[in-house]
Structure 1
Amino acid sequence: MSSNGPSLDHAAPLDPMMEVHWRDWLAWAEENGFVPPEDAEFARIRERVWEASEYVAVSVLRHPEAFAELVASGDLVSAYGAGDLDARLTAALAEVGDEPALHQALRLFRRREMIRIIWRDIGRLAPLSETLEDLSELADVCIRRPLDLLYDWTRAEIGTPRDPDGRALRMLVLGMGKLGARELNLSSDIDLIFAFAHTGEVEGGPRALSNEQFFVRLGQRLVQALSLKTVDGFVFRVDTRLRPFGEVGPLAMSFQAMEDYYQSQAREWERYAMIKARPVAGDPDDVASLMDMLRPFVYRRYLDFGAFESLRDLKQMIVKELHKRGMDANIKLGLGGIREIEFIGQAFQLVRGGRDPDLQVRPILQVLALLAERELMPAEAVAELDAAYRFLRLVENRLQAHRDKQTHQLPDEDLGRARLARSMGFDDWPSFADVLQDHRDRVQGHFDHVFAAPVPEPERQGSAWTALWLGGQEASQALRILDEAGFEDPETARTRIEQFRDATDRKGLSRRGHERLAQLMPQVLRVVAGCDQPDAALGRVLQVLEAVARRTAYLAMMVEHPGILSQLAHLASLSPWFTDQIRHHPLLLDELIDPRRLFAPLRREDLESELDALLAHVDAEDLEQQMERLHQFAQGNMLRVAAADLTEVIPLMVVSDYLSEIAEVAVGRVLDLAYVHFVERHGRPTEILGESTGFLVLGYGKLGGIELGYGSDLDLVFLHGTQSVTAMTDGAKEISNEQFYARLGQRIIHMMTTQTASGTLYEVDMRLRPDGAKGMLVRSIGSFAAYQESEAWTWEHQALVRARPVAGDPALATRFAEVRRAILCRERDPERLRTEVREMRAKMRANLDKTRDGRFDLKQGAGGIADIEFMVQYSVLRWAAAYPALADWTDNIRLLESLARLDLLPGQAAEDLADAYKALRAAYHRSALQEQPKTIPVDRLQAERERVRALWRDLMDGGSEQDA
């Protein structure tokens, strides 16, 4: 980086006095027989450091032996390894016996390490990441090691604080801000919060004291050890004002008091502060307990878009204050400064961190990288923010290296500007200032984009909808507005709006809630009016809004992302199922934010990856959270399929493929989680047929036939591969294989069907297992094969046509396929088979057919879906012995294609059945999305139904049949 000025390495010194200081040190070195390095690289770095840091030059002059030791040790040119600083400080404090000695040792240690860090930073021997890490580690060890000594001394003086069980308590120290994120700058304050696990009384002391009094005293001593200014300087300036209640609160608080505070009294900005909270010292169990307690305060389970509004307000307050104080040149808090980059990252963390635990990290560069990876921000924008952050943090360090002073203000005098520019590698101020301004402009642009306030509707368009919402119009005028907007029934629409307004008034919304609703509702009415079916859309959208009205974060989400409203209204006009899902599970509103995701359902590999991410941070024993994440996964992906289906982005015949894959991935993961749970308790089953679990989940019915619909039950059968009835698991708490697999099956059903806050994963029907509802929940593959061979009814063999493995052990799946093929390909008496299939169908129709009152039952009516399924199943069982290819598939369409290819049905029968099946399923499917009974008017699909009835008569009622 250069300009028209002289090159850096040959420029004249900016401050001749600094060179005088260096010559004085050289004189000392000569007197004491110390020979400094004579290489050119050392000389170049020394010149840069002495020019940029008066603190180093003066410190070396006053403490010449410290610099000589640094040079001789080689530490100036070497990066530290993990634990090096801790070991060095431990050694430095080994002989310390009282507080004055502790204070002195800490200050001498800090001075040495600061000289080294500044030398490596300004000399460009260390990247920014190393500098920030070294500074943060320096603070950590300067907190932890003195705290150990002070704790022992305080206990010796006033007794030991204990919990109710008699355990000696330690103080927990939270590092906040840049210390918490391990991003400490060269002359930063350290923000600390002190806590302890339990209230109680100190034991063994000269007088009665509470645990709080002990830890307040200990905290005071630690603050003094770090921040008291002595003849040797200070260690770190300490700020404890981020604690609950600020300066008026106790210096140390119990966990219970902290929990009460953060649940009931904490302010919004304290959430932002807690993002970077990191335990620096404390008992590991206590640390885990406190962080578990704080996490829900910081990271909400829902998407908290109110964070954008709150951070926007906070930033405006900072900007106003800076203008008042004439601090526009502040690179931390000013426009385009470091704080704006941090706010961008924090906003996304607060909004999404509860749903995406990966975002619960502290360093801002890691957060930015995740925003690009998750496509929450464009990669180019993230790259610019990353570059700006690194540049601004270097500028910050160079400003503070000058006099070890906490400043973020750009210099306004020529010498200071020249010093800063040259320390950053520029020849002069203008060339540096141009690059700096370019970075700040980009940061400000991205900040303004992320935090742009929602644009209100133009007055001409928006005022009518605003007045309609507020109820400030005559009824006739409101009806006219709604009529002109395209509502077929303006009176009903007006009534719905009034009822919704009254309902939200009764809910007792907060002031912020009413403000957000006032912002939102004119937009809602305008967007709904633009739908093809505004009457239907209005009622359904208002149901969603009524469900979330008291959870103002969802209102904020829609205010911040008006596109959500457009998608919601459009899809609401097409299907009540869609809005019912969102009404019951508002977390699904997140799926409407990004149309690229909303209308692009995932296939198996991506489904697996998404579920991996959702479960990655859930504790293996946290069953409730596992089920919540599984529900979130299934509901979100079903919603995407429905959106793509309703808008005809994907064809109807692949909708079931998507829905079936979602169910298979969910079932497979439930099996994995449940299996791991029992293996940890009882070990693995032994003597099994299997490559992994020895357990297999079979899908029957719609799942087996890859024909799953919205809200379909899952027909499941469980098998295991135990080869011996006496086989046991191999764990310390062994149980029989039979017990292991029975419990495994029970846990799978529990995880699938238990009602949680977000509903159930799937309804499960196990009645197709051998012996039905009275049979064992889990059968061995051998027992299953024997049952199918000698005990199963014909209808059970019909069901087997549509059975396939959906999760579990590959070796067991292979064995099941052999059993299935053997059963399906058995020789059967055609007439007996036809009679039994026909009789079963007649019983089913008599019990289940809802054809009446001018409406036809799509599934059970004569000529409906079930008739086609029974004909396909009959055909497979009738001819598979001669044509084993009929046992290859489980879905009706491919089975009909096979029957057609083999010319086993007369004429175009197979093709006609396939066409009728598709038409009937499409109508069935649409009824599900419209939440209508699965019936149609009797005059619909008449040709298809009549063709099915005719083929039934030909094939099943004794008509002509083509022999094999």
Structure 2
Amino acid sequence: MTELTAALRARFGASAELAAAMPRVLSASRFVQAALQALVAADDALDDFAKVYPEGETRRRVDAAMQDVDTPEAAMAALRVLRRRQMARIALRDLSGVAPLDETLGDLSDLADACVDAALRFVERRLQQRHGVPRSADGRPIRPVVLGMGKLGGRELNFSSDIDLIFCHTDGGETDGARSISSDEYFTKLAQETTRLLVAQTADGFVFRVDTMLRPFGSAGALSASFPALEDYYQVHGREWERYAMIKARPIAGDLDAGKRLLDLLRPFVYRRYLDYNAIGALRELKRLIEDEVARKGLDDNIKIGAGGIREIEFIVQSFQLVRGGAEPTLRDHRLRPVLRRLGEQGYLDAAIAARLDEAYVFLRRVENAIQMYADQQTHALPQQDAARAALLAALQIDDWAALQAQLTEVRGFVREQFMLVFAADDHDEHSPSHRLVAALWNGTLAGDAALEALYAAGFRTRPQAVLAAIETLRTVRLVRAMREATARRLLQLLARLIDESVAQADPATPPETALVRTLRVVEAIAGRSNYLTLLRESDAARAALLRLCRASPWLTDFIARAPIVLDSLLDPRTLYAPPERAELFEDLKRRAEALQVPADTEQAMNLLRHVQREVTLRIAAADLNGALPLVQVSDRLTWLAEVIVEQALRFAWAEMRAQYGEPLRSDGRCSGFAVIAYGKFGGIELGYGSDLDLVFLHDCDQLDADSVGGARAIDNATWLARLAQRLINWLATQTPAGRAYEVDMELRPNGRSGLLVSSLVSFADYQRDEAWTWEHQALTRARWVAGDEDVGQRFARVRREVLMRPREDAKLRHDIVAMRRRMRGELDKSDGERWDIKQGEGGLIDIEFITQYLVLRDAHRDAAIVQWSDNWRQLEALAAAGSIAVADKDALIDSYRRYRRWAHERALQQLDNLCPLDAFAEQRAAVVDLWRRLLG
């Protein structure tokens, strides 16, 4: 061995790190020692052992080795000699420490890819010599595809692993040679002979062990299936564990482009369109079977499938992929480590937890490879013999066995802990009091007064009859009555947990009945969607958050029931009660939108807007009800959300129009600009829950009769812009299965309902200068650009400033504003002899807005700062700074406005009207009425 070490050091002299590691490497692996001994004896230069292979190098070397091969025996020998040399190279680089884990796994996977592809092409040439080319009914060649599965598919192959393959072909037909056979027979032969070329044991060993059991119907299925047969199989017969397996599928040989098309076809089978929490139960069952095998065979020391082993990290990552991959394209990756990194970056896993799991994975894979590199044997168990243990310690550079065991215990303990957090057993104790109570109420053995007494004893002491009625209503829902027994059993488990937790969460102000009855409305709404029932049963955090939010607000209860996709947001309290800032909102929606191609993905894009709108609204409401956001920040965030949704909807609508009709150009050759102007609460940055959007659309096209350019067909620019406006409204307001993003109101556009849907900036300016009513200038005080062309937005801002800063005759201005207010109050004020309308009543919210608008229109010509902002509060601050209103009066208006809005906001969350007792807000009302009379008479 000393002589071998010296010879290797001489060859690796240029790589000091590699040369220095030789004694340890040779101690760590009998396989490497024997392989290198043979290579040195054959005077192999080993130059490439010191280098990182560039992309494609392994395949180039395999192809070169197979170049002049013409018999199966020669092909076997060439592949085996090359395989042994490459495995020695990979092991040496790994054990010496010069290769990181990803290089080792990638090189092993590249070697397997190249060997399978070379064997496939060799066999295919020989088959075509005998039988001709297989062709479909229309004469096109039928191509083979080999899918790599498992660790090979993930480019994570371990050192002595077998390779999981699925052989398939693009279509059905027959060969065109003199000895014609069916395509099924042809591709069966191709799979059989390719496999034999790889697995046969010769004097030179084997290339790779091959496992084809993951193919449709396993050992009973055809060795190679056509694409149509595969698609049919997964649609009709595909099982949950096969979804798990297909996450790793990757075309490795044959027609790779066709393989990618196949995986695109199968994507809906692997990744459900929406969040899929049922996958966790299927994975849990699969893990249970593995654990039974571990216990039965005494495999506790198995690095791969033992507790806290590699498989549990894979299950954690792939559970997130199966649950979320349909909604989150970035998780559709066959590689484990990049997905684990994304889970941390996107907050699905705590970033520190994701990093520790990655470290654990690297450590366990290094241990696994070191065990296998010792003698090139497929084993995952810690060695028992002293020599093998010493070799493992040398490979890992760990001093003694106790230190290795301590590190393994720590790493596997952490992995096991995280695994149990994701895959905790779902069986609620069916002998618990709450479960017995639910079962008795459900099957009718407990009814009437006895049922009420039992519910009272369980903690429902204010309105037990409401709980009883809610459970009875749920029991009689058609979708619940149609449930399979197993699903109904899980529903009862969920109800038992909700009963326990609603009582535990109760406080003196809100009895447990309130939370439970409202939550059961949500459960009723999702009764036909086992995915969401599974989520609530599985997740303690989601269940607790749902109860808390339903208890706090009936409006929020209905919101969740109408859009159950938001239930996913309840999983993480850190994000639930911390709604995003505007920049974060913008980047997140932009990232998710970039994965879609409009118009091809129009339905998905529409749903994306609606899902984001609901998810973020829920997070804002949760933070609001939790006291984490003051009212101003609630309105800010609801307004930012609308801005971001409108902006992305405009991008989608524009892409749709461009694909069909090209784009409208100005006379100077530039693309026409289109801008969205917000009015009302949206313009005033005061959106509330459920607010609609007051919008006006403007453009700067100066040749409306010209045709659009660059599309499948042209239309005149005026029609193009009108259709864009209509499509933008559709993108926002169309009712889809996911609901609608926003109601849109276009009443404030020039000439109202009779006006054009989109106006040129020039005609808008002329209208505002010459035709607009005073009330339209009032509305303009709260208008601002929110999306689309920024240049058009800036020009709109200049028009707005010019119009609002025009001197006005005070008497006429006061007359117009008072007349409009009198008309509004007559039509809209709901005050009566006992209650006062906080919005429309005298001294209420609208009076404050009218006072502010009057002062802006009266005095803006004296100070441009007065029209800088579109929201009521900052306008009042600017008016006070300009001397238009006394500071004390300004403070009184802002204080009243803030109090009114907070009260109305809280009432909205409780689904109550805006009518308050006549003696409420007496001081604020008096101040507003007094100022109105002083200013407007």
Aligned partner of 1:381 in structure 2 is 353
Aligned partner of 1:319 in structure 2 is 291
The two structures have a TM-score, normalised by structure 2, of 0.91
> Kindly tell me: are residues 220 and 764 of structure 1, through their superposed partners in 2, closer, same or farther at Cα, counting changes over 3 Å?
same
Secondary structure of 2:58's aligned partner? helix
Query: Which of 153, 173, 177 matches 2:150?
Result: 177
Deviates more, 1:668-677 or 1:689-698: 689-698
- Report matched runs for 1:47-86 at 5 Å: 47-59=23-35, 68-71=43-46, 74-86=47-59
> Kindly tell me: are residues 818 and 520 of structure 1, through their superposed partners in 2, closer, same or farther at Cα, counting changes over 3 Å?
same
Q: CA deviation at 1:446?
A: 3.0
Aligned partner of 1:547 in structure 2 is 525
Q: Say if 1:607 and 1:665, in contact at 8 Å, map to a contact too.
A: yes
Secondary structure of 1:191's aligned partner? strand
Deviations 1:350-408 (A, max 9, x none): 22323332222222222332233234434443343323322221222222223322111
Q: Say if 1:688 and 1:723, in contact at 8 Å, map to a contact too.
A: yes
Q: Say if 1:690 and 1:809, in contact at 8 Å, map to a contact too.
A: no
Query: Which of 857, 860, 877 matches 1:897?
Result: 877
- Does 2:812 correspond to 1:812? no
> Kindly tell me: are residues 794 and 923 of structure 1, through their superposed partners in 2, closer, same or farther at Cα, counting changes over 3 Å?
same
Q: Say if 1:56 and 1:115, in contact at 8 Å, map to a contact too.
A: yes
Q: CA deviation at 1:659?
A: 0.7
Distance (Å, rounded) in 1 between the aligned partners of 2:829 and 2:386 = 92
Q: Say if 2:866 and 2:879, in contact at 8 Å, map to a contact too.
A: yes
Distance (Å, rounded) in 2 between the aligned partners of 1:325 and 1:698 = 70
- Report matched runs for 1:281-296 at 5 Å: 281-283=253-255, 286-296=258-268
Distance (Å, rounded) in 1 between the aligned partners of 2:788 and 2:715 = 21
> Kindly tell me: are residues 688 and 514 of structure 1, through their superposed partners in 2, closer, same or farther at Cα, counting changes over 3 Å?
farther
Distance (Å, rounded) in 2 between the aligned partners of 1:551 and 1:699 = 38
Distance (Å, rounded) in 2 between the aligned partners of 1:770 and 1:689 = 27
- Does 2:452 correspond to 1:473? no
Aligned partner of 2:323 in structure 1 is 351
Distance (Å, rounded) in 2 between the aligned partners of 1:430 and 1:393 = 19
Deviates more, 1:927-936 or 1:417-426: 927-936
Q: Say if 2:663 and 2:671, in contact at 8 Å, map to a contact too.
A: no
Secondary structure of 1:881's aligned partner? helix
Distance (Å, rounded) in 2 between the aligned partners of 1:892 and 1:717 = 20
Aligned letter for 2:876? L
- Report matched runs for 1:130-141 at 5 Å: 130-141=103-114
Aligned partner of 1:105 in structure 2 is 78
> Kindly tell me: are residues 60 and 650 of structure 1, through their superposed partners in 2, closer, same or farther at Cα, counting changes over 3 Å?
closer
Q: CA deviation at 1:760?
A: 0.9
Query: Which of 584, 587, 599 matches 1:609?
Result: 587
Q: CA deviation at 1:673?
A: 3.2
Q: CA deviation at 1:772?
A: 2.2
> Kindly tell me: are residues 412 and 609 of structure 1, through their superposed partners in 2, closer, same or farther at Cα, counting changes over 3 Å?
same
- Does 2:574 correspond to 1:600? no
Distance (Å, rounded) in 1 between the aligned partners of 2:562 and 2:761 = 40
Aligned partner of 2:538 in structure 1 is 560
Distance (Å, rounded) in 2 between the aligned partners of 1:844 and 1:684 = 43
Distance (Å, rounded) in 2 between the aligned partners of 1:792 and 1:381 = 61
Distance (Å, rounded) in 1 between the aligned partners of 2:263 and 2:670 = 40
Deviations 1:611-654 (A, max 9, x none): 13432422344122222122111111111111122233212233
Aligned partner of 1:496 in structure 2 is 470
Deviates more, 1:611-620 or 1:776-785: 611-620
Aligned partner of 1:535 in structure 2 is 513
> Kindly tell me: are residues 705 and 392 of structure 1, through their superposed partners in 2, closer, same or farther at Cα, counting changes over 3 Å?
same
Q: CA deviation at 1:517?
A: 1.6
Q: Say if 1:691 and 1:811, in contact at 8 Å, map to a contact too.
A: no
Distance (Å, rounded) in 1 between the aligned partners of 2:174 and 2:892 = 87
Aligned length: 928
The two structures have a TM-score, normalised by structure 1, of 0.89
* Identical aligned residues as a percent: 44
Aligned partner of 2:312 in structure 1 is 340
Aligned partner of 1:90 in structure 2 is 63
Deviations 1:36-73 (A, max 9, x none): 678997775554444433334444566766x53342xx
> Kindly tell me: are residues 723 and 469 of structure 1, through their superposed partners in 2, closer, same or farther at Cα, counting changes over 3 Å?
same
Unaligned runs of 5+ in 1: 1-12, 14-18, 960-964
> Kindly tell me: are residues 435 and 923 of structure 1, through their superposed partners in 2, closer, same or farther at Cα, counting changes over 3 Å?
closer
Query: Which of 367, 370, 374 matches 1:402?
Result: 374
Distance (Å, rounded) in 2 between the aligned partners of 1:300 and 1:487 = 43
Aligned partner of 1:5 in structure 2 is none
Q: Say if 1:187 and 1:405, in contact at 8 Å, map to a contact too.
A: yes
Unaligned runs of 5+ in 2: none
Query: Which of 617, 624, 627 matches 2:606?
Result: 627
Deviations 1:454-513 (A, max 9, x none): 695797764665456545435434322433524422223212222323337744223432
Q: Say if 2:76 and 2:197, in contact at 8 Å, map to a contact too.
A: yes
Aligned partner of 2:208 in structure 1 is 236
Q: CA deviation at 1:134?
A: 0.6
Q: Say if 1:698 and 1:805, in contact at 8 Å, map to a contact too.
A: yes
Secondary structure of 2:321's aligned partner? helix
Distance (Å, rounded) in 2 between the aligned partners of 1:315 and 1:290 = 28
> Kindly tell me: are residues 442 and 486 of structure 1, through their superposed partners in 2, closer, same or farther at Cα, counting changes over 3 Å?
closer
Aligned letter for 2:451? A
Q: Say if 2:659 and 2:711, in contact at 8 Å, map to a contact too.
A: no
Q: CA deviation at 1:729?
A: 5.8
Aligned letter for 1:497? I
- Does 2:615 correspond to 1:640? no
- Does 2:852 correspond to 1:872? yes
Aligned letter for 1:492? A
> Kindly tell me: are residues 724 and 693 of structure 1, through their superposed partners in 2, closer, same or farther at Cα, counting changes over 3 Å?
closer
> Kindly tell me: are residues 457 and 95 of structure 1, through their superposed partners in 2, closer, same or farther at Cα, counting changes over 3 Å?
closer
Secondary structure of 1:783's aligned partner? helix
Distance (Å, rounded) in 1 between the aligned partners of 2:17 and 2:679 = 76
Q: CA deviation at 1:82?
A: 0.8
Query: Which of 293, 299, 312 matches 2:271?
Result: 299
Distance (Å, rounded) in 2 between the aligned partners of 1:461 and 1:110 = 64
Aligned partner of 1:839 in structure 2 is 819
Secondary structure of 1:69's aligned partner? coil
Deviations 1:92-142 (A, max 9, x none): 222233444333322232222122212222233322221111110111111
Q: CA deviation at 1:450?
A: 3.5
Q: CA deviation at 1:924?
A: 3.1
Deviations 1:839-877 (A, max 9, x none): 333444444444569555444444443333333323322
Deviations 1:158-197 (A, max 9, x none): 3444456543231222111110110111111110112333
Q: Say if 2:35 and 2:85, in contact at 8 Å, map to a contact too.
A: no
Query: Which of 484, 487, 500 matches 1:510?
Result: 484
Distance (Å, rounded) in 2 between the aligned partners of 1:424 and 1:921 = 66
Q: Say if 2:198 and 2:210, in contact at 8 Å, map to a contact too.
A: yes
Aligned letter for 2:519? V
Query: Which of 768, 787, 790 matches 2:748?
Result: 768
Aligned partner of 2:897 in structure 1 is 917
Distance (Å, rounded) in 2 between the aligned partners of 1:570 and 1:917 = 29
Distance (Å, rounded) in 2 between the aligned partners of 1:910 and 1:42 = 78
- Does 2:225 correspond to 1:253? yes
> Kindly tell me: are residues 436 and 882 of structure 1, through their superposed partners in 2, closer, same or farther at Cα, counting changes over 3 Å?
closer
Q: CA deviation at 1:660?
A: 0.6
Q: CA deviation at 1:686?
A: 4.2
- Report matched runs for 1:508-907 at 5 Å: 508-529=482-503, 530-531=505-506, 532-621=510-599, 622-679=601-658, 685-687=664-666, 694-725=673-704, 731=710, 737-851=717-831, 856-905=836-885
Distance (Å, rounded) in 1 between the aligned partners of 2:60 and 2:720 = 50
Q: CA deviation at 1:687?
A: 4.0
> Kindly tell me: are residues 155 and 620 of structure 1, through their superposed partners in 2, closer, same or farther at Cα, counting changes over 3 Å?
farther
Aligned letter for 2:566? L
